[in-house]
Structure 1
Amino acid sequence: MQNYLMSLPDLQPEEMAGINELTANMSESQKQQFFMIYSGKRKKPQEILLLTCLGFIVVAGVQRFVLGQIGMGILYLLTGGLCLIGTIVDVVNYKRLATDYNLTQMYESARMVGMSGI
């Protein structure tokens, strides 16, 4: 399990707790499949910060599109990041945005592993 966790950079405490909880009753092959799926879906907090900072220079809302929040992305795009206030808030809360997205993807990955019948 430790080898799998080392492959996930910038793991937040909430993610670590969720992974430990979800993988506790998984077989080794299920754990391997889970980490393979989850690592492909997971977003690094620095990625989200970089995309948010691009909102000041290029196009506001890119981070929201990447996080699957299409409605908010369109709103940010059309309003210039809600007149840059929303973009500033996202710069401050980038880790929370990434963690919330990653937790959702973690549980989805666990469901996928459970459904695969391994």
Structure 2
Amino acid sequence: MNMHQDPYMNFADMGPEEMGFLQQATRELSEEQKKYFYMVYSNKRKNTNEILIFTLLGFVGAAGIHRFVLGQIGMGILYFLTGGLCFIGTIVDVVKNKSLTLEYNKNMAYESHRMAAMSNINN
């Protein structure tokens, strides 16, 4: 079995929704473009457990770090200045941790796909 046939199995925390999304997104790419996509995406992708840890730091005075890590600078500043919107926003984000991470990872997959599709690796 080819190691590059399904490289997404290397991500321990990847759920079936993200796996299906990535397989569908890379379907029309050449093998070389898929390798390039995987390389770029693996560097941009965020781990759900790491985001959960950053979110939990909001309860000890470092509210909003998870939003900064997810590229949501405005929300990060708002959380930081308001104590995670008086902890309510932090509690909501603990519950929504997986969906926040999935949304970020999908955006990174779109970006990685554009980069791979534009590459002339197969030519």
Q: TM-score, normalised by structure 2?
A: 0.91
Which residue of the partner structure matches residue 114 of structure 1?
117
Q: Deviations over 1:53-87 (max 9, x none)?
A: 01111310000000000000000000000000000
Residue-pair matches, total: 117
- Identical columns (%): 56
1:64 matched to 2:49: no
Q: Partner amino acid for 1:101?
A: Y
1:46 matched to 2:49: yes
- Could you list the structure 1 runs, at least 4 aligned residues long, displaced by more than 2 angstroms after superposition: none
Q: Partner amino acid for 1:14?
A: E
Alignment map for 1:1-118 (pairs within 5 Å) = 1-2=5-6, 4-118=7-121
Q: Partner amino acid for 1:82?
A: L
Distance apart, 1:13 and its partner CA: 2.3
Question: In 2, Cα distance between the equivalents of 1:38 and 1:49?
Answer: 20
* 1:33–1:113 contact (8 Å) kept in structure 2: yes
Distance apart, 1:116 and its partner CA: 1.7
Question: In 2, Cα distance between the equivalents of 1:81 and 1:28?
Answer: 44
Question: In 2, Cα distance between the equivalents of 1:71 and 1:14?
Answer: 28
Question: Of Structure 1 and Structure 2, which has the larger fraction of its residues in helix?
Answer: 1
Question: In 1, Cα distance between the equivalents of 2:17 and 2:110?
Answer: 12
Question: In 2, Cα distance between the equivalents of 1:44 and 1:87?
Answer: 18
RMSD: 1.0
Question: In 2, Cα distance between the equivalents of 1:92 and 1:22?
Answer: 27
**Segment drifting more, 19-28 vs 65-74:** 19-28
Gapped regions of structure 1 (runs ≥ 5): none
Gapped regions of structure 2 (runs ≥ 5): none
* 2:58–2:90 contact (8 Å) kept in structure 1: yes
Q: Partner amino acid for 1:71?
A: G
